[in-house]
Chains A and B, each alone.
Chain A
């Protein structure tokens, strides 16, 4: 079973700051997911990546497969970025209908 660790658990920052959230996992995988959960509870998929780096707007996700580590960065953070950011991984490197193992999430608050 894959174990997922996220840090920090809680992060409060000022608007405009550069944000970094880290995720490490224990078993080699095919791809890692970054998800966003808003206070209402809904989950939105931000990125799925298997190597290198992906960028979408002010969000950047990187992964180092050898080190089993990924980071999510937010540039020019804004109060609307306030949410829980969750890292999730499949159980192994195979494909298929694999249920994801979720980290505990990073609760991010961006203050104006």
Chain B
């Protein structure tokens, strides 16, 4: 069965550094999402992406965050200047139109030192 893949599985970064999290969505999906989960808390929506532009974003997704689909397969989340509170598990998901089920990757654990 097709999967959403995320790399790296664990990223350790110094505070203030830029970090890029990468995702390869399922190939025929058209909607892409990023979520985050701070340790011990619930999963929170960050941003959705469709037709090469942001469809929806939450209040968490401020100017420090950006998303990009640089080619036909990758979907990236960039955090420009990381803060300690950015430490979390970041999940990528993809789905198809018509209220299709969202398929999640295994996540990238981001640790900010």
Majority SS at the chain A contact face: loop
- Whether B106 and A42, one on each chain, are in contact in the complex, defined by CB atoms closer than 8 angstroms, is yes
**With A50-B99, A95-B97, A105-B42: A44-B104 Cβ-Cβ less than 8 Å:** yes
**With A48-B99, A102-B42, A102-B43: A97-B33 Cβ-Cβ less than 8 Å:** yes
Closest Cβ neighbor of B37 among chain A residues: A41
- Whether B99 and A99, one on each chain, are in contact in the complex, defined by CB atoms closer than 8 angstroms, is no
- Whether A43 and B91, one on each chain, are in contact in the complex, defined by CB atoms closer than 8 angstroms, is yes
- Whether B103 and A45, one on each chain, are in contact in the complex, defined by CB atoms closer than 8 angstroms, is yes
Q: How far is the CB of A35 from chain B (nearest CB, A)?
A: 8
- Whether B97 and A99, one on each chain, are in contact in the complex, defined by CB atoms closer than 8 angstroms, is no
CA–CA, A33 and B35, complex, Å: 15
Q: Which of B12-20, B46-54, B68-76, B78-86 contacts A (4 or more CB under 8 A)?
A: B46-54
In the complex, which range does the number of interface residues on chain A fall in?
A: 20 to 34
- Whether B44 and A45, one on each chain, are in contact in the complex, defined by CB atoms closer than 8 angstroms, is no
The interface residues of chain A lying within 8 Å CB-to-CB of B64 are none
Interface residue B27 (Cβ < 8 Å from any Cβ of A): no
Q: How far is the CB of B96 from chain A (nearest CB, A)?
A: 10
Q: Mark A35-53, 1 if CB is under 8 A from B, else 0.
A: 1000011111100101000
Binding site for B on A (CB under 8 A): 30-31, 33, 35, 40-45, 48, 50, 86, 88, 90, 95-105
Q: Which 6 A-B pairs have the closest CB atoms?
A: A99-B45, A97-B48, A97-B55, A43-B104, A97-B31, A48-B101
